Chain A
Amino acid sequence: MVEVKNIKKVFKLSKKQMQKDNTKSSIKVAVDGISFQAKPGEIFGLLGPNGAGKTTTLRCVSTLIKPTEGEIHVMGLENQSNSSDVRSRLAFLTNELKLDTHFTANDTIQYFGELHNMSDGDIKSRRDELFDYFGISEFKNRKISEFSTGMKQKLSIAVSLIHNPDVVIFDEPTNGLDIITARAVTDYLKKLRDEGKVVIVSTHIMTVAEKLCDQIGIIIDGKVVVEGTLNEILDESRAESLEDAFFQYYAQVKGV
Chain B
Amino acid sequence: MDKRLFTVVKKELKRIFTDRRLVFTTMLLPALSIYIMYSLMGNMMTERMDDVEENIPTIIAVDAPESFKTFIDSDRFEIQYEDQASTSYEDQVLSGDVEIYMIFDENFDQLAMNFERPNVKRYYNGAEDYSQEARYNIDKELTAYETFLLGERIGNQDHVEVFDMNRDVENDKIQDEQKATGKGLSTLFPMLIAIFLFSGAMSVGPDMIAGEKERGTMATLLVTPVRRETLAMGKVIALGIIAIISSASSFIGIIASMPNAGEMFARDGIDMASLQFGAMDYLSLFAIMITLVALYVAVICMVSIMSKSIKEANTYMAPIYMVVMVAGFTTMFSNGGSELWKFLIPVYGSIIALKNLFAFELTTNMVLYTCGSSIVIASILIFIIKGLFNNEKVMFNA
Contact = CB atoms under 8 A, between A and B. Distances in A.
A binds B: yes
Interface of A: 11-12, 59, 62, 64-66, 84-85, 87-88, 90-92, 94, 96-100, 102-103, 107, 111-112, 114-117, 156, 159-160
Interface of B: 4, 7-8, 11, 14-15, 18-19, 212, 215-217, 219-227, 392-393, 396, 398
Contacts of B212: 100
Given A11-B398, A102-B15, A103-B15, A87 B216 contact: no
Contacts of B226: 84, 115
A102 B208 CA distance: 13
A217 B216 CA distance: 28
B223 A84 contact: no
Nearest to B214: A98
Contact of A64 (B7, B19, B223): B223
Q: Which of A11, A85, A117 has the most CB of B within 10 A?
A: A117
A225 B223 CA distance: 29
Given A64-B396, A102-B15, A103-B15, A87 B225 contact: yes
A98 B224 contact: no
* Chain A interface main SS type: mixed
A62 B223 contact: yes
A102 B217 CA distance: 12
8 contacts: A12-B393, A65-B398, A84-B226, A97-B219, A99-B217, A102-B15, A102-B19, A103-B14
A115 to B, nearest CB: 4
Given A66-B392, A94-B219, A116-B225, 8 more contacts: A59-B396, A64-B223, A64-B392, A85-B225, A92-B223, A97-B216, A103-B14, A111-B7
B233 to A, nearest CB: 14
A92 B219 CA distance: 10
A112 B226 CA distance: 10
A94 B226 CA distance: 19
Contacts of B18: 102
Given A65-B396, A103-B15, A117-B225, A98 B4 contact: no
B14 A87 contact: no
Contacts of A116: 224-225
Contact of A99 (B19, B220, B393): B220
Closest 7 A-B residue pairs measured CB to CB?
Answer: A98-B216, A88-B225, A87-B225, A115-B224, A65-B392, A114-B7, A92-B223
B223 A98 contact: no
A98 B19 contact: no
Nearest to B223: A92
Nearest to B224: A115
A153 to B, nearest CB: 13
Residue among A91, A112, A156 with most chain B CB within 10 A: A112
Contacts of B4: 114-115, 117
Contacts of A159: 220
A91 B217 contact: no
A208 B11 CA distance: 37
Contacts of B221: 115
